[in-house]
Chains A and B, each alone.
Chain A
């Protein structure tokens, strides 16, 4: 059967997720370095139109599980279908994105296969026949190195950590239609409703740019200034714990050790003093910008560029200046 790297590809409403493009690009490169075949599994309903796009990343084999029972992600149905593909193919590595679905699916799949799982990884290298993974712990206050060894080993990668690469070009892969026969027991969870958070902005964990507000925002109404700038930049809006606990922003917006750990290309902290828990959550951002009126604020110790000033004076000017360049 030979060595194989299998990527679990996610789609939503007929579009591949951005994190899946990262997996496809990195998966091809890792497979080449390991001397392995690169395959992908795509599950959903009416998804056959996505096969060409997946193929364009130089995938050798694509497994397509197209069924109405897979229209929405559910843990057990997806574990059942993807687990059967993995059990049959016995790839050396199964790679997934550490998304809402990926982090739910991967551990369940790993236990079913009796496999190890390095989750929420931000780095990978090939050493001999194995992958060596790096993953943040304690919200990035430490980084662990994990040896990806075992007959089949699973890895979830944090969105944005791998970066995207240009598609390698199609190799006219073999496309395998997966017969979807789901154990009825795997269909016991019923999706009653899916409530889309239609902000029109990217999610925090996937966003390339994040602009966050803290206690200095003084109230929920002032986040409108942050949102306007976010929309100019195509950014996500985050918040410090202080802003969330004050009830100004939703819990899901919190960046930090008890919120989301993020690693965008650009992180703009507005009116955030920089508690250790917040800095742990955003410390891996490539570029950090801070706007704060207190020149002693901790956030300036990690910022690549800081403006000492009243955010209520700075943000309106920033908005106008950004309009000129984006």
Chain B
């Protein structure tokens, strides 16, 4: 069973966001990690491979710095990686990303495509579904349980206040939600092996593609106004709670 994992490198969740001179999100001095939801996808792919055999291929888009995250996922146990690395893709939107990734997957043999359900940077949760559409594959988004059967999968998808138990024929696109598994830490042996694993860099020209304008245009960024600390009270609960109730009902008028 061959699995492709779509992986994105994101800022660390600890990162403080600042704007640069051009008003864009500054990348200066920010620690980068594997998008946490993609890490669940990597882990799930490795577990399926360990149970059923086959190969796990990582596919990512981004600059040279992404290699570090790819090596980390290779150290976890993925077999090889492809990085689409082209300056023309700087700021590419989800529409373009889906088409580029589809081109990477062309000619590859895969039974399952896994990814995180959302990237914690732009929070858009678009690329996997857009890719599924380009490839004409069924999709299951926001999955907390995945079982591989013969030629199909059964998964638990988080709906609104419910869990949908879905059966999909393979190949399919599945996106991971927290709860799917607990990602492993790479062992020293894995880290050593990862250095020798194939990490292929491709440009748009290598893929036979030309730069294409996107459909979703970000025109600016702002930082949210810092919240001001409000009133803090201390003392007997009988008194502090009364003050709180007064605040909620009369001042804030929220209950």
Contact across chains for A196 and B161 when beta carbons are under 8 A apart: yes
Asked whether any CB of chain B lies closer than 8 Å to the CB of A52, the reply is no
Contact count band on A: 35 or more
Contact across chains for A195 and B165 when beta carbons are under 8 A apart: yes
Contact across chains for A189 and B17 when beta carbons are under 8 A apart: no
Contact across chains for B94 and A107 when beta carbons are under 8 A apart: yes
Contact across chains for A251 and B234 when beta carbons are under 8 A apart: no
Cα separation A287 to B230 with both chains bound (whole Å): 10
**Chain A 160-195: CB-based contact to B (< 8 A → 1; otherwise 0):** 000000000000000000000000010011111111
Which residues from chain B contact A287 at a C-beta distance below 8 Å? 248, 252, 254
Closest chain A residue to B253, Cβ basis = A287
Which residues from chain A contact B98 at a C-beta distance below 8 Å? 111
Contact across chains for A302 and B227 when beta carbons are under 8 A apart: yes
Asked whether any CB of chain B lies closer than 8 Å to the CB of A43, the reply is no
Question: Which residues of chain B (105-158) have a CB below 8 Å from chain A?
Answer: 120-130, 132-134, 136, 138-142, 144, 154, 156, 158
When the two chains form the complex, which single residue of B120, B138, B166, B178 contacts A139, counting CB atoms closer than 8 Å? B120
Q: Known contacts A76-B138, A251-B178, A314-B237: does B232 contact A209 (CB below 8 Å)?
A: no
Tally A-B pairs: CB < 8 A. Answer: 272
Which residues from chain B contact A286 at a C-beta distance below 8 Å? 254
Which residues from chain B contact A193 at a C-beta distance below 8 Å? 164-165
Closest chain B residue to A259, Cβ basis = B178
Question: Which residues of chain A (243-258) have a CB below 8 Å from chain B?
Answer: 250-252, 254, 257-258
Closest chain B residue to A236, Cβ basis = B161
Closest chain A residue to B98, Cβ basis = A111
Contact across chains for A116 and B95 when beta carbons are under 8 A apart: yes
When the two chains form the complex, which single residue of A259, A265, A301, A305 contacts B244, counting CB atoms closer than 8 Å? A305
Which residues from chain A contact B162 at a C-beta distance below 8 Å? 194-197
When the two chains form the complex, which single residue of B130, B242, B248 contacts A110, counting CB atoms closer than 8 Å? B130
Cα separation A174 to B74 with both chains bound (whole Å): 57
User: Using a CB–CB distance below 8 Å, which chain B residues touch chain A?
Assistant: 11, 13-17, 19, 25, 36-37, 93-95, 98, 120-130, 132-134, 136, 138-142, 144, 154, 156, 158-169, 177-179, 214-224, 227, 229-235, 237-238, 240-245, 247-249, 252, 254-255
Nearest 3 Cβ contacts at the A-B interface: A116-B215, A251-B179, A304-B230
19 CB < 8 A contacts A-B: A110-B126, A116-B95, A116-B214, A117-B124, A119-B123, A137-B25, A137-B123, A145-B220, A145-B221, A146-B217, A147-B219, A189-B167, A195-B163, A250-B179, A287-B254, A304-B252, A309-B237, A318-B241, A321-B241
